[in-house]
Amino acid sequence: MPFFRLSFHPLACPSGFFIEGVGKRMTALTKMIIIDDQGKPVSFSREEFASLIGQAVAGFGRLSLDEYVERVWQLLSRKESVTVEQLHQTAILEGLSYIDEDEPDWTFVCARLYLQQLYREAARQRGYDARERYGDFYSLIVSLTEQGVYSPLLLERYTKEEIETAGSFLDPGKDLLFTYIGLRTLADRYLARDYERRLYELPQERFLVIAMTLMVNEPPKRRLELVKEAYWALSNLYMTVATPTLANAGKSYGQLSSCFVDTVDDSLQGIYDSNTDIANLSKSGGGIGVYLGKIRSRGSDIKGFKGVSSGVIPWMKQLNNTAVSVDQLGQRKGAISVYLDVWHKDIFAFLDARLNNGDERLRTHDLFTGVCIPDLFMEQVEQRGDWYLFDPHEVRKVMGFSLEDFYDEEKGCGSFREKYWQCVNEPRLSKEKVPAIEVMKSIMRSQLESGTPFMFYRDEVNRQNPNRHLGMIYCSNLCTEIAQNQSPTVMKRQYVKDGMIIIEKIPGDFVVCNLSSINLARAVTDGVLARLIPIQMRMLDNVIDLNNIPVLQAGLTNEKYRAVGLGTFGWHHLLALKGIRWESEEAVRYADELYETIAYLAIQASMELAKEKGSYPAFPGSDWQTGAYFERRGYQSHGELDWDRLKQDVARYGMRNGYIMAIAPNASTSIIAGSTASIDPIFLKVYAEEKKDYKIPVTVPDLNEQTTWYYKSAYHIDQRWSIKQNAARQRHIDQAISFNFYVMNTIKAKELLDLHLTAWKSGLKTTYYVRSTSGTIDECDSCAS
């Protein structure tokens, strides 16, 4: 039997396609020996090899095939015999070397060749003919459930007939949408394997298992219809789910949420309990944000003993050790960010914690840092005024309130500045006076060296909080896109009863992030937003009920607010397809219009879910219920967006979710979907994605003669245009956005300061990394969606 029939499923390809393109150079049909999957030697001709490659390049007739085939054949001919695996690997590696700005489609050819390897490997493990590409779906579920890889949930909740019907939804043709780097990332990190790392699950089966898992609790009469719709959204790459959901849905381990945010109480018990909670979440695949602003500063008193507190740095060291030692399912080390208020006495030590020089005992290189900044500080920086640093414990003891519990309700006036000046003018309160600009210089120095701290503009965040009736937002998460109510969990008492130690705690709001993102380039171009967003919001909402979170207060908060984060990626890709330049008013207007539409559809979808399933428990008194959410953003009906009607419907029927939108970085999942990350501009049109022992050449998506002019590098873009775009979209997003600055390493301090001031004045809630050309930045995998 010819080799290519063993390994390839015939693709739609004219039989003469390859012969016309390459066959002219073939003066003789030399042969070699191929070792097939059964270990038998098979004679394999150059003509058969030509046919094999011809199938893989179907539809890409402009590629330079002659030289490629000659090079691969010569490489293979040097060996006495070649295995099927070696043949495919050689063809793939040689194909990757051809990827460049002129011929980007080689990535799809390599993806098709790699697909055949995946089909063969899965068929070998599952015992079916590889020419079928996909085996029996029900048998897969039974096999992996028996091996303990899959949870019993699918077999318990779906009948065999339902699973077989779901299996009929599988569309192997959708595998051809993947680029090589996208398929490789999906296969290496997310497809289900047994405990010997042998591949069982194929790409479309991963999507279908996710769809079935997320719809498992829906009413049986319409459940398969919803599974089919969710699979449609995933298989067409119109959307991606969060990395933990992509990796863990349907499996017997891990959880489904992306990030968590904890507020640490200022007590020994609270600090150590928080560390335990963080460790438990980290091991199950969660990224962590931690607010440290309530912890007393260095030199504060403990139980009346003066000057004995060691401040926040030792507790940061403890968290740093947790991040390193408690990894995420063996895949990567834990990811933890810590936030501190800019008025905290330990702020300078905090800002130095990631620097490369200085006392290593005071360094936490494995943590990410963020600074909580009130409007008043930015005003003092701009005016070159003084700034005062306080110990939060002393403020509580002397003043009878916690300064971090206040924010300015209006721009330029409000509770925080009133309380702050009270503290400044209180003679009993110790304080340190420093020029505000000196604090800002330390912030920027750290950013240019390490990329952090992130900036969290606490007043704007809390002013726009739709659930401000029930709490305060102290900080953000690991990737700065989550903004939800927080409070510390406090030990009430512990006692012995019937031989058992009983510990009672008052649970705080422990934030949970449930993320999913729209692939703008595909969904907008195909005009499917109105169909996509309702199923996507349902999938997100169902994650809340399915998730098994190992920290109880996080589970309670998840149920209380039912918060989700619908996001987007592929913004630069979409602009290029539409022929819109990044640095233009047209791009700013388009961001405003598009994100208003997405917000409308997301709010409408959550309202419809509330009709069906009920509102989130904290809805009464929220800005959603009172209508303040819509009024604060100045929404008025126009075109197909009937904001007046939607506002009335929300007041009447409620909202299923207390928070609905957040834009995450999407670094890994945007690669899988073959688009650009988040709302970011590209780095380079052609670059290499580095793996452990090799590099994969990658081009930006849909690179051609038309789009190339619209793919300008992030480092050559005026960052003010990015701020304008982000300010336009931020109005429509109830939470926040992972927004990076891209700067040259030669940037002057004054220029970077101007960018920060512009971002703050423009109403941005957060900024993420300052990405300088001088260094590399660690990506956040947890929030990728």
Alpha helices of 562-689 — where are they, by DSSP H? 571-578, 585-613, 623-626, 628-632, 643-653, 667-672
Whether the ω angle into residue 453 lies within 30 degrees of 0, i.e. cis, is yes
Question: Is 481 part of the annotated catalytic residue set?
Answer: yes
Instruction: Note the residue count of the chain.
Output: 785
Joined tokens for residue 432: 């340190």
pLDDT band at 28 (very low <50, low <70, confident <90, very high): very low
Least confident of 6-15, 294-303, 364-373, 736-745: 6-15
d(CA 707, CA 724): 22
d(CA 696, CA 715): 22
Joined tokens for residue 698: 């990658």
Q: Given a cut of 60, is residue 64 above it in pLDDT? A: yes
d(CA 536, CA 440): 41
Sign for the pseudo-dihedral over CA of 113, 114, 117, 121 = negative
Distances (CA, A) of 616 to 327, 557, 651, 781: 33, 11, 13, 29
CB 425 within 8 A of CB 435: no
Segment 12-38 mean pLDDT: 48
pLDDT at 42: 79
Segment 553-575 mean pLDDT: 97
Token pair 């233009």: residue: 584
Q: Given a cut of 80, is residue 623 above it in pLDDT? A: yes
d(CA 355, CA 445): 9
d(CA 181, CA 187): 10
Q: Given a cut of 50, is residue 7 above it in pLDDT? A: no
Token pair 């005009």: residue: 527
The bridge status of strand 515-519 relative to strand 565-569 is parallel
Q: Given a cut of 70, is residue 285 above it in pLDDT? A: no
The active-site residue out of 462, 477, 542, 558 is 477
Residues forming beta bridges with residue 35, ordered by sequence position: 41, 83
pLDDT tens-place string over residues 29-60: 467 778 777 778 877 777 777 777 887 888 88
Q: Given a cut of 90, is residue 692 above it in pLDDT? A: no
Segment 268-292 mean pLDDT: 89
Segment 240-257 mean pLDDT: 91
pLDDT at 12: 33
pLDDT at 309: 85
Q: Which residue has the higher pLDDT, 88 or 431?
A: 431
- The alpha carbon torsion through 535, 108, 671, 520 (nearest 10 deg) reads -40
> Which residues contact residue 246 at a Cβ distance below 8 angstroms, ignoring those fewer than 6 apart?
190, 206, 210, 240, 669
pLDDT band at 6 (very low <50, low <70, confident <90, very high): very low
CB 607 within 8 A of CB 654: yes
d(CA 647, CA 653): 10
Q: Which residue has the higher pLDDT, 397 or 358?
A: 397
Q: Given a cut of 90, is residue 14 above it in pLDDT? A: no
pLDDT band at 25 (very low <50, low <70, confident <90, very high): very low
d(CA 13, CA 729): 44
**DSSP state string for 3-23:** HHHHH-PPPS--TTHHHHHTG
Q: Please name which of 724, 258, 726, 232 lies closest in space to residue 523, comparing C-alpha atoms.
A: 232
DSSP 680: P
Q: Given a cut of 80, is residue 17 above it in pLDDT? A: no
Segment 93-115 mean pLDDT: 93
pLDDT tens-place string over residues 185-241: 999 999 999 999 999 999 999 999 999 999 999 999 999 999 999 999 999 999 999
d(CA 254, CA 547): 9
pLDDT tens-place string over residues 733-758: 999 999 999 999 999 999 999 999 99
Distances (CA, A) of 38 to 6, 35, 42: 11, 8, 10
Distances (CA, A) of 597 to 157, 729, 731: 36, 11, 12
Token pair 């309130």: residue: 401
Joined tokens for residue 52: 């094999």
Segment 270-292 mean pLDDT: 89
The active-site residue out of 372, 475, 479, 780 is 479
pLDDT tens-place string over residues 463-509: 999 999 999 999 999 999 999 999 999 999 999 999 999 999 999 99
The active-site residue out of 94, 229, 460, 481 is 481
> Which residues contact residue 647 at a Cβ distance below 8 angstroms, ignoring those fewer than 6 apart?
627, 630, 635
CB 328 within 8 A of CB 359: no
Coil, helix or strand at residue 76: helix
DSSP 369: E
pLDDT at 80: 73
pLDDT at 84: 84
d(CA 538, CA 752): 41
Query: Average pLDDT of the chain?
Result: 91
Token pair 């590889």: residue: 130
**pTM over 0.85, yes/no:** yes
